[in-house]
Amino acid sequence: MEISERALARMIEAVNKHLPQRSRTLAEMLKEKYPTIRARDGNEYLIERKELEFIAQYVDELDWNKFKIPIILEMCSIGNDTLVYVRDRLHAEFIKRAFGYDRFVEDVMVLHMYEIAPIRRKLRTATQVMFTVPY
């Protein structure tokens, strides 16, 4: 059964409704007792302070105003493999420092599925997975 590009795009959009309407900065969220993100689906999600504090340990304080929360992990299936892309430069630098991953292709961090498990375990609320399809 062939699925149209439009139908596939709508399905991916529905799967990604948990993504934020807009990102917020690490600096702004660290000032709040209960930092939250509003998602495209209208729900509000609490970001745990301990996760923000963990991130702050690895990000230069001068970059806190530029570091966006949540950290987006973009999943993409390529053939039989699923890869995870981290496109934001500051997010990639943070993951390199905090978790030791150092695989870049044209300024994009590329992770394998097994490599996101420790990231998601440590940053359950401060990371979000975005699903994409290759072009």
| pLDDT, tens only, 17-64 | 666 778 899 999 999 999 999 988 888 999 999 999 999 999 999 999
Number of H helices, E strands in the chain: 5, 9
Q: What is the pLDDT of residue 133?
A: 67
Q: How confident is the model at residue 125 (pLDDT cuts 50, 70, 90)?
A: very high
User: Looking at beta carbons, which pairs linking 50-57 to residues 24 or more positions away fall under 8 Å?
Assistant: 51/122, 51/123, 51/124, 51/125, 51/126, 52/26, 52/126, 54/98, 54/122, 54/123, 55/26, 55/94, 55/98, 55/123, 55/126, 56/26, 56/30, 57/98
State the pTM of this model: 0.85
Domains contained in the chain, number: 1
- Can you give the residue range of the structural domain that contains 100? 5-132
Mean local confidence (pLDDT), 72-90: 90
What percent of the chain shows pLDDT beyond 90?
Answer: 66
Average pLDDT score, the chain? 88
